[in-house]
Amino acid sequence: MKTPSVVVLLTATAISLAWGCSTVDERLGIEIEQPPEQFGTPDAGPDATPDPRELTAYCPSSQCPPGWTTCPDSRFPCDTNILADSRNCGGCGMACPLGTGFEQFTCNEGACKLECNAALRSKDCDGLVDNGCESSQLDPANCGACGVACAVGESCRWQDDKLTEVGCGCPPGTVDCLGCRDLRADDAHCAACNNACDPTGGPGAPQYSNMYYGCVSGQCGKPKCKPGFADCDGVLENGCETSIRTDDDCGYCGNTCGAGQKCAADGNGRLSCMCDPGLTFCQTGENQGLPEGYCVDVSSSPGNCGACGNRCSLGGGGYSQLAVCDFGKCTIGCRDGAADCNGSQADGCEIDTKSDPRNCGGCGITCDLTLGQACVAGKCVVEPCDQPDAGEVTR
């Protein structure tokens, strides 16, 4: 007979408790109303109501729970989840395809599933697994989505400068002049393709500070500010008098940066006041005469730990380790399911706490090794005592 290790009270929800095989209600830590005293023999006929306080004991088990198995290359018993492991999907050695970068294959419920790369916007429009996600983001036969075909001679292109939307032809308000152009405001294509405006305005045109003549409402000869300047006072005679590359007018008139902020350009060249409180500006170069970079929390960024550019390294600990920035200081951490039980960085996070029965769920948490109790998903496997067909659970 198996030695029970857990007692479970069968109520609406089964509660697993790591005790011996006691049935004393006081040890459950909850109050249970006792039935009234009975005299004589209780009715045990076929219509009798089962006792809701019936107890079931659970014992250590070496059997793998459903979906888990031991493969020839397993380090520990029952350490392979054939329902989710892409190297053993549905069975040992049944690996999913590697993919090409436009797609990847994942194991879902024991079957390899094709997933297209969302960052590259690739698509599987023909439904054939063999050629993966064959449709690119600018595919004119599937522009933006499968089945959206562009007209003959019409290209599939980006519809905005941020490269977020794709569509057939140029977006509304623009015309294809070797690129989508707004003929109402494009100085090189004003009202028509290749109709460039004279920036001097022609003979006799007055010249103003930081101004030139360009295209406005589809007409050349209109005063416009040079890049980096604005006409904030509305007075034509003094031209575009205000630089919008300062902390007082950052990107546009009147945009004053707060205390501790500076006017800078982000990775897309857009000017803004950087950075929000608690963040540090890390400069990567210059753009439009201003520093260019990004904002980061140097107290937690592994790539900028304590200061810009101070990158935390792993050393020789391997994949199971993580470079961690903890309050501005670099440390070594472990990925979920791994632990550094010997305290040595030389071998990194050497313990697999998901499957190691000697360290099941954490360092030093030991399953019943004499009975071959397996560790699955960080828990020691148990099963109902003397009920081998009742299925396995973990505690």
Phi then psi for 369, rounded to 5 degrees?
A: -70, -30
Task: List, for residues 285-323, the tens digit of each pLDDT value.
Answer: 988 788 999 999 999 999 999 999 999 987 665 667 888
pTM of structure: 0.60
Kindly report, residue by residue over 238-253, the tens digit of the pLDDT. 999 999 999 999 999 9
Taking only the tens place, the pLDDT of each residue in 149-186 is 999 988 899 887 777 888 999 988 899 888 889 999 99
Give pLDDT, residue 316: 63
| CB neighbour list of residue 86: distance below 8 Å, 6 or more residues apart | 95, 96, 105, 106, 107, 112
Beta bridge partners of 262: 274
Q: Report whether the peptide linkage leading into residue 275 is cis, meaning its omega lies within 30 degrees of zero.
A: yes
pLDDT value at residue 39: 29
CA distance 269 to 287: 7
245: amino acid identity, one letter: R
Query: 12 vs 113, which has greater pLDDT?
Result: 113
pLDDT reading at 2 higher than 90: no
Mean pLDDT score across all residues of the chain: 84
Distance CA 84, CA 43 (A): 50
CA dist., res. 68 & res. 160, Å (int): 49
- Residue predicted with more confidence, 269 or 299: 299
148 Cα distance to chain centroid: 29
pLDDT of residue 41: 37
Pairwise CA distance, residues 19 & 7, whole Å = 6
Question: Which are the contacts of 56, defined by CB distance < 8 A and separation ≥ 6?
Answer: 7, 8, 10, 14, 384, 385, 387
Paired sense of beta strands 242-243 and 229-230, if any:
antiparallel
Q: Strand 156-158 to strand 166-168: parallel, antiparallel, or no bridges (unpaired)?
A: antiparallel
Mean pLDDT of 107-120: 92
Q: What pLDDT shows up at residue 47?
A: 56
pLDDT at 37 over 50: no
68 C-beta neighbours (distance < 10 Å), count: 22
- What DSSP character marks residue 236? G
* Rounded CA separation 221/253 (Å): 24
In sequence order, which residues have a C-beta less than 8 Å from that of residue 273 and are 6 or more positions away? 247, 250, 255, 256, 257, 258, 261, 262, 263
Tokens of 70: 């031991």
